[in-house]
């Protein structure tokens, strides 16, 4: 089963609705240059709202080139289940954060060419997130060549790969069929405005992912 992450949640009601729709991960953006940025205290309330709607949902905190101590402070205040490093962090920073907070760490990689995904196995993380290159560090609504992701998943079968970048209810089924990722990550593809989720689109996304999973399962 393909897991589902909806990122860039900024509203309490949206957090509850997204979780209730059946997603596996709710993403909170702690990069203060993002249109979907949330400050620590509000993030804690959003996380509480999501967990109240669906206790098993995991809260993912997105950081860009943040110091490990800052990440640890926010983790303690919000109760993050996963940290996603979405900047230029080296492998050593991934290890430092994981050791400091004792939680899984994901590393986002911008994919523009085949070379960008050539060394996925070198990252000491629990999952790698494959995203389209963008100045906004994700959430651009732009896709990248899924052939690169397909090759990466085939080559690194022991690596959890999260597919992001321009996914919507309309194209996520084709993406899953092509790439077979461990999880998918969507922000702008289920929004009415940056940080404001469209609940009908969220439900349509979940339905499309499950339909794609079913179609894959039916193949010999």
Q: Note down pLDDT in tens along the chain; length 220 residues.
A: 999 999 999 999 999 999 999 999 999 999 999 999 999 999 999 999 999 999 999 999 999 999 999 999 999 999 999 999 999 999 999 999 999 999 999 999 888 777 777 778 888 999 999 987 665 555 556 777 888 888 888 887 888 999 998 899 999 999 999 999 999 999 999 999 999 999 999 999 999 999 999 998 766 4
Token pair in block for residue 219: 């193949």
Instruction: Give the whole-angstrom CA distance, residue 69 versus residue 92.
Output: 14
- The predicted pLDDT at position 68 comes to 96
Instruction: Give the whole-angstrom CA distance, residue 40 versus residue 52.
Output: 18
Give the domain CATH number at 22.
3.20.20.70
Instruction: Give the whole-angstrom CA distance, residue 76 versus residue 158.
Output: 30
How many domains in the chain?
1
- Catalytic residue from among 14, 131, 161, 185: 131
* β 3-6/25-29 pair status: parallel
**DSSP character at residue 32:** T
From residue 156, give the alpha-carbon distance in Å to each of 27, 80, 160, 173: 25, 27, 8, 22
Q: Is 131 a catalytic residue?
A: yes
Its domain, for residue 110, covers 3-218
- Catalytic residue from among 7, 24, 161, 185: 7
Q: For residue 58, what are the contacts with CB-CB under 8 A and spacing of at least 6?
A: 24, 25, 26, 81, 82
- The predicted pLDDT at position 220 comes to 46
> Looking at the whole model, is its pTM more than 0.85?
yes
């Amino acid at each position: 089963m393909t897991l589902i992450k909806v990122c860039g949640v900024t509203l309490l009601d949206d957090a509850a609705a997204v979780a209730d729709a059946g997603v596996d991960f709710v993403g909170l953006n702690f990069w203060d240059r993002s249109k979907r940025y949330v400050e620590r205290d509000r993030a804690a309330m959003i996380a509480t709202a999501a967990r109240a709607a669906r206790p098993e949902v995991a809260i993912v905190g997105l950081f860009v080139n943040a110091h490990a101590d800052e990440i640890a402070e926010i983790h303690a205040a919000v109760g993050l289940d996963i940290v996603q490093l979405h900047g230029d962090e080296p492998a050593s920073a991934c290890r430092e954060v994981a050791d400091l907070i004792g939680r899984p760490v994901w590393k986002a990689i911008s994919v523009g060419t085949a070379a960008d995904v050539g060394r996925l196995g070198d990252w000491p993380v629990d999952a790698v997130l494959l995203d389209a290159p963008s100045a906004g560090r994700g959430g651009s609504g732009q896709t990248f060549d899924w052939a690169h992701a397909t090759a990466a998943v085939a080559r690194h079968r022991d690596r959890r790969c999260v597919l992001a970048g321009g996914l919507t209810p309309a194209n996520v089924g084709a993406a899953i069929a092509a790439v077979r990722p461990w999880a998918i990550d969507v922000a702008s593809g289920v929004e009415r405005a940056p940080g404001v989720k469209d609940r009908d689109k969220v439900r349509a996304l979940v339905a499309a992912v499950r339909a794609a999973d079913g179609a894959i399962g039916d193949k010999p």
